[in-house]
Structure 1
């Protein structure tokens, strides 16, 4: 399942693309990675995305190398590229297998220097580190919980960025208060606002699905696609810092519990609807 690596903060123009990425991440890989255009249009209709917007979003995803046009049994459709599959697989681990660091784990430091003539590589490196959940301590010195080491190494090697970076395991010794420093290294206020927005948006959805007459399978698909689309970027912005270093009123745990409850309630019904549409087309 993808992250903000594929789609940034949601807007009216990016939302159709984000919904399509979510749908491919949830259902395409189990059917060979391919979905017909007609099936995608029908599925996106449950999310209030019209056919022209679907086709425009598909075109953008194709240009970015995430989708590849091909026909199956005479039907036009799009399959996942190798790059997209890698992004989805990486996303699954972070989104559905969240970890929380412990203070005893220590820190991972990424120290890098990229020549001025290679600005594109510098931009790519910074975006990869941000996507992995690193905070910034100083120019060219980024920090993350140490449990992200293996994932960081794999991502940097895959993108040919390892030659610019040295990775260190570190312990904080002196002289400041680590909780105060963490609030400088990461935008915790901004992340808290995103968690609050998520809670405000989806508490009513949870309450509705707690009722016996909550809705149809099609409605379950629409709600699950929305909740996952909004949720999937958050685990990449939140590196899973130790609870001792987070504000006392931190809402990340409540948001995660809400996502887990909705996922449990909606997954089966949403899957039943989506696969029936995909198989029909």
Structure 2
């Protein structure tokens, strides 16, 4: 695991439900469970502060780290998408975006492409991106944030004449490769689930092991946010692997969540100058508030 990526997982899974701030010593202990050294943790936090993702607050001789507004936005979107079991019907509209961003703004253009990929847009032709999902508000916010209004054309249409819907999907996303990744996830975690089920029922698994399993599970599942556009049912292949992987993820998560949160609480130290805030229910079951689909609720 890379330190920065693991840190995002820890903030999204646990820290945000406990006041959003953590002592660096607790963070070091938690990340050390995954073989990450103290030096690597300190280096990663410093880089994230410099990138405007984390902020540090000193209380006596201790340093406490929390997410900035930018960091919170990144976490909130990722957490919502991880814990939303999407099963939505298509509204028959394609969202189409094309741009002509000058070469002198190349870095901005590259960042904009990354943002579009993160949202689930697919590139079907040079500088022409599409999505079947209702992402108008998020895209307009991106365009405004990056001040790209003069360079971007964004519209919706119910008819693309040069390609049929299947061709658009095959051009925009490598669906067989995404399905293969989901199958690999299932092949690994299905036997793990059978073992875990027995261990949890017999009470032979420790809170520490639950924490490591849940954190690694989410860390692996988060990778699908970068490759799966979460297509509506109408555009997905039959018997979609992603649906099976999502159910398996949810089932394992619930098996180990209570123990995982107990272990986190043993390690976590909050700032002495603030009241201890904890929402254990949401930490154990993030699916409660994240079960939001696009159109059909």
Q: TM-score, normalised by structure 1?
A: 0.85
SS at match of 1:184: helix
User: 1:40, CA displacement in angstroms?
Assistant: 1.0
Match of 1:141 among 114, 128, 135: 128
Aligned position for 2:279 = none
Does the C-alpha gap of structure 1 residues 205 and 58 become closer, same or farther in structure 2, counting only changes over 3 Å? farther
| Contact 2:23-2:269 within 8 A present in 1 as well | no
Quickly say closer, same or farther: Cα 1:57–1:202, change in 2 above 3 A: farther
Partners of 1:93 and 1:43 in 2: CA distance? 23
Contact 1:106 1:171 in 2 (8 A): yes
Contact 1:101 1:145 (C-alpha < 8 Å) held by counterparts: no
Could you say which residue in structure 2 is the equivalent of 1:206?
193
For 1:164 and 1:264, the matched residues in 2 are separated by 46
Tell me what 1:128 maps to: 115
Q: State the structure with bigger RCO (CA 8 A, min sep 6), 1 or 2.
A: 2
Q: Kindly tell me: are residues 119 and 179 of structure 1, through their superposed partners in 2, closer, same or farther at Cα, counting changes over 3 Å? A: same
- Whether the aligned pair in 2 keeps the contact of 1:101 and 1:240 (CA below 8 Å) is no
Alpha-carbon displacement from aligned partner over 1:157-183 (angstroms, at most 9, x marks no partner): 334344432221112354544224312
Stretches of structure 2 lacking an aligned partner (at least 5 in a row): 272-297
> How far apart are the structure 1 equivalents of 2:204 and 2:270?
25
Once the 2 structures are TM-superposed, how far is the Cα of residue 258 of structure 1 from its aligned partner?
Answer: 1.0
Query: Which stretch shifts more, 228-237 or 218-227?
Result: 228-237
**Equivalent residue number for residue 235 of structure 2:** 245
Is 1:102 the counterpart of 2:92? The answer is no
Find the counterpart in structure 2 of residue 229 from structure 1: 219
Separation of aligned partners in 2, 1:156 and 1:30:
31
Aligned partner (choices 168, 179, 183) of residue 196 of structure 1: 183
Q: 2:257 aligns with which of 256, 267, 271?
A: 267
SS of the residue aligned with 1:146? coil
Q: Secondary structure at the match of 2:65?
A: strand
Task: Give the alignment of 1:60-75 within 5 angstroms.
Answer: 60-75=47-62
Q: Which of 201, 208, 214 does residue 218 from structure 1 map onto?
A: 208
Say whether residues 1:32 and 2:22 are aligned partners.
no
53, 77, 81: which one aligns with 1:90: 77
1:5 corresponding residue in structure 2: none
Q: How much does 1:124 deviate?
A: 1.7
- Distance in 2 between residues matched to 1:53 and 1:100, nearest whole Å: 40
* Contact map agreement 1:227 1:259 (CA 8 A) in 2: yes
CA distance change for structure 1 residues 165 and 94 in 2, over 3 Å: closer, same or farther?
farther
* Contact 1:58–1:67 (CA under 8 A) maintained in structure 2: yes
CA contact (8 A) 2:48 2:54 kept: yes
What number of residue pairs does the alignment pair up? Answer: 268
Deviations 1:188-209 (CA, angstroms, capped at 9, x unpaired): 2332232123223322332222
TM-score normalised by length of structure 2: 0.81
CA distance 1:162–1:268, shift in 2 (3 Å): farther
Say which SS state the counterpart of residue 97 (structure 2) adopts: strand
